[in-house]
Amino acid sequence: MQSYSLTIDKFLDHAAKWSPSGEVVWSEGGVAQGRLGYATLRDRSNRLSGAYKALGLAMGDRVGTLAWNTQHHLETYFATMGAGFVCHTLNPRFTVAHLAAIVHEAKDRVLAVASSLVPLLRELAPLCPSVEHVVMLDGGLAELPLLEGSSAEVWSHDSLLESHGAPVAWGEFDEHAPAGLCYTSGTTGAPRGVLYSHRSNYLHTLRALQADSIALTHKDVLLIAVPMFHANGWGLPFAAPGAGAKIVLPGRHADGASLATLMRDEGVTVAAGVQTLWLGVADHIESTGLELPSLKRVLIGGSRCPDALLRRIEERLGVQVQTSWGMTELSPMGTITPPGERWSEEQASGRPTMGLDLKLTDAQGTELIPQRDVVGHLKVKGASVVDRYYGTGVDALDESGYFDTGDLASFDAAGHLTIRGRSKDLIKSGGEWINPAEIEDIVGRLPAVRLVAVVGTSDPKWGERPVLVVELHAGESCRPDELLGCLRGKVASWWIPDSVVQTKSMPLAATGKIDKNHLRATVELLPVPTPAPES
């Protein structure tokens, strides 16, 4: 059989040849700013590869991107990966110190930056001696004639393309070559790098396109609201051209009004993002009466979404919600609810797609038998699963080649996965374990509750005790005794939190998940009497 390397550029090549007029649209504030066909996108991206080569980049060199979901960011994706460079997506919500450490570890030679992030760049650039060139993606060059404290040469994306752009042969390297670099959000420790290969991303894309997965077709209009700086935008920038689907990119504005307007105007059929985005869209639709007649499916990832919130999104948007579970270390898709199959409380995270193996073990790593209807530590194995973290020489796998996700989970008889919580989030009180996820799931069903989290705080007698933190929907009220009362009879009495904190705005991590590290460090305890833990 032919040797045919599985490289990322082939998805855009396919789209340019067979769906040349398929649109890519990018917007700001819910209003389209530009659109181009796949053939044009392929041409621009390919010539941009030549421009980066003219700057002296060689195979394997890293190009850092500090950018939102825009046309120029998408061009940079394919320009870097197609030529054998590494697209290192940087999360602009990280601190400057974290970003500097990541750029230093990756030895990025180029930074491609959105103009709205110039203030961040001014702080960051002097801390990044490896950076030789800065490319302003969407203007902003006039504001940045030079970077104080940095020797980097500054270009604009379009002028670099015009002056140095040249056709380049794509994909002339081994499929195991690195393609993308992404760092974890750091909510459970320091950010760690995951280096994706062309092969791993290619196979991940095929998993995403399966009929029981994201299942895009050339008739779909896809809103990529998940940030492109997080795990390759869930792999959607590859899956959409692979299917020939229209892409809609929202830019930096992901508020409910902007997203709802954009979805209506562009006829979006499938939309993907974390749950907090769809809360904003549901709120806007509820207050304005706006309708989204084309929207069929909403993909939700990130932290587990309470049942009440899922129902609210379905009712307000009139769509099917596809819940999912994944991690940066998985490229990131792990499981997903198939199209046309409604999620349920015990099927909250969907089913694994072909190409990924999952199993449950006990705390010592011994595989549980049977695997169904038990709670265990979730481990995964597959072609798009991390082997070792970037910059380390130590495998992140067990002796059987499985990666420990750090999640507690269970499978039902049909193989649906339910995440039962993070093993690191377990609270040890009086020598016994409390699982915050079970408490969060119950409280999250209350109609007044928008977001909920349970964290442990130190206790001189019991070691740790749980604290309940909630953000209510606008205009709603709920007394602490009502919040705690819904737990009675559903969990052990000593699991019931000692304190309730109501916050106007739940702290979110860089990926849109609730930041429990921040909550542990800053929450102000409000004592609420509760039975002491049982011995």
Residues with catalytic annotation?
184, 329, 428, 433
Residue pair 204/237 in contact (Cβ under 8 Å)? The answer is: no
Residue type, 475: G
Q: How far apart are the C-alpha atoms of 110 and 113, rounded to whole Å?
A: 10
Instruction: Confirm if 323 and 350 have CB atoms less than 8 A apart.
Output: yes
Contacts of 387 (CB under 8 A, 6+ apart): 395, 396, 397
Query: What are the distances in angstroms from CA 53 to CA 137, 204, 498?
Result: 17, 28, 60
Handedness of CA 363, 305, 188, 429 (dihedral sign): negative
Query: What string of DSSP letters covers 403-437?
Result: EEEEEEEEE-TT--EEEEEEGGG-EEETTEEE-HH
Q: 3-state SS of the chain: helix, strand, coil percent to 5?
A: 30, 25, 40
423, 419, 402: which is closest to 410 by C-alpha? 419
| Nearest residue to 32 (alpha-carbon basis) of 41, 42, 23 | 23
The residue type found at 273 is: G
Residue 358, helix vs strand vs coil: strand
Dist CA 312 CA 396 (whole Å): 39
